Structure 1
Amino acid sequence: MREHTDLVRAWRALPPDSEAVLATVVATRGSVYRRPGARMLLTREGWVAGSISGGCIESDLVQTAFDRTASGAALVTYDASAPDDVLLGFGLGCNGAVDVLMQRLPTDGGPLAVIESVLHDRQERWLETYADGSWQVTRLSGDEPLLSERLQPPPALVIFGAGHDAVPLVRIAKEVGWHVTVVDGRSAYAREERLPQADRVLISPPANPIPIEGGASVVVMTHSFANDVAILAWLLQSPASYIGVLGPIHRTRRILEEQGLDGSRLYAPIGLDLGAEGPDEIALAIVAEIQAVRTGGTANHLKGRMTPLHEKKEPKYVGRI
Structure 2
Amino acid sequence: MKEIQDIVIAFEQARMQHKKAALATVVHVEGSSYRRPGARMLVTEDGQLTGAISGGCLEGDALRKARRVMLEQKAMLITYDTTDDDDAKLGVGLGCNGIIKILIEPINPKDPDNPISYFRSFLSSRQKAVLVTLFSLESRTAEQPGTCLFIPENGSMAGQCKDKTIQEALLAEAQLVLETGSSVTKTYISADTSLTGFVEILKPAVSLVVVGAGNDAIPLTQLAAILGWQVTVVDGRANYATVVRFPAAQRVLVAKPEQVLNQVQTDDQTIFVLMTHNYIYDLAMLRQLLPLQLPYIGSLGPKKKLDRMLTELQEEGMVITEAQISHVYGPTGLDIGAETPEEIALSIISEIKSVLAHKKGASLKYKQDVIHPRDEAAIGVEFLGEKLPQSINEVADLSIKGSFTCGI
Deviation at 1:47, TM superposition (A): 2.9
The 5 Å alignment of 1:164-243 reads: 164-210=215-261, 211-243=265-297
SS of alignment partner, residue 79 of structure 2: strand
Asked if residue 127 in structure 1 is aligned to residue 128 in structure 2, the reply is no
C-alpha contact (below 8 Å) 1:213/1:239 kept by paired residues: no
User: Partner of 2:37 in structure 1?
Assistant: 36
The 5 Å alignment of 1:280-291 reads: 280-291=342-353
Deviation at 1:65, TM superposition (A): 1.7
Of all paired residues, the percent bearing the same amino acid is: 41
134-143 or 178-187, larger mean C-alpha shift:
134-143
Equivalent AA in structure 1 for residue 363 of structure 2: H
Distance 2:62 2:348 in 1: 38
Q: Deviations over 1:213-270 (max 9, x none)?
A: 2331110001101111111111111131101101112122222212215344321111
C-alpha contact (below 8 Å) 1:25/1:38 kept by paired residues: yes
Q: Deviations over 1:13-43 (max 9, x none)?
A: 1143210111111111110111111111111
Deviation at 1:112, TM superposition (A): 2.1
| Distance change (3 Å), C-alpha of 1:142 and 1:90 | farther
C-alpha contact (below 8 Å) 1:215/1:239 kept by paired residues: no
Distance 2:84 2:308 in 1: 62
Equivalent AA in structure 1 for residue 287 of structure 2: A
Equivalent AA in structure 2 for residue 45 of structure 1: D
Equivalent AA in structure 1 for residue 296 of structure 2: Y
Deviation at 1:90, TM superposition (A): 3.0
User: Partner of 1:318 in structure 2?
Assistant: none
SS of alignment partner, residue 90 of structure 1: coil
The alignment's C-alpha RMSD in Å is 2.0
User: Partner of 1:316 in structure 2?
Assistant: none
User: Partner of 1:5 in structure 2?
Assistant: 5
Give the aligned length: 313
Distance 1:310 1:188 in 2: 46
Asked if residue 251 in structure 1 is aligned to residue 305 in structure 2, the reply is yes
283-292 or 194-203, larger mean C-alpha shift:
194-203
User: Partner of 2:364 in structure 1?
Assistant: 302
C-alpha contact (below 8 Å) 1:209/1:235 kept by paired residues: no
| Distance change (3 Å), C-alpha of 1:215 and 1:43 | closer
C-alpha contact (below 8 Å) 2:235/2:254 kept by paired residues: yes
C-alpha contact (below 8 Å) 1:25/1:39 kept by paired residues: yes
Distance 1:142 1:24 in 2: 25
Structure 2, unpaired ranges of 5+: 136-144, 152-159, 167-187, 189-195, 376-408
C-alpha contact (below 8 Å) 1:77/1:99 kept by paired residues: yes
C-alpha contact (below 8 Å) 1:156/1:217 kept by paired residues: yes
| Distance change (3 Å), C-alpha of 1:174 and 1:312 | farther
SS of alignment partner, residue 101 of structure 2: strand
Distance 1:113 1:286 in 2: 34
C-alpha contact (below 8 Å) 2:15/2:109 kept by paired residues: no
| Distance change (3 Å), C-alpha of 1:226 and 1:153 | same
Equivalent AA in structure 1 for residue 8 of structure 2: V
The 5 Å alignment of 1:101-112 reads: 101-107=103-109, 110-112=114-116
C-alpha contact (below 8 Å) 1:80/1:91 kept by paired residues: no
206-215 or 28-37, larger mean C-alpha shift:
206-215
SS of alignment partner, residue 14 of structure 1: helix
Distance 2:88 2:367 in 1: 27
Structure 1, unpaired ranges of 5+: 314-321
Q: Deviations over 1:171-201 (max 9, x none)?
A: 1111122111111122222212211111221
User: Partner of 1:74 in structure 2?
Assistant: 76
- Compute the TM-score of the two structures, normalised by the length of structure 1: 0.91
SS of alignment partner, residue 233 of structure 2: strand
The 5 Å alignment of 1:14-93 reads: 14-16=14-16, 17-69=18-70, 70-93=72-95
Distance 1:276 1:236 in 2: 27
User: Partner of 2:178 in structure 1?
Assistant: none
Equivalent AA in structure 2 for residue 94 of structure 1: C
Distance 1:305 1:235 in 2: 34
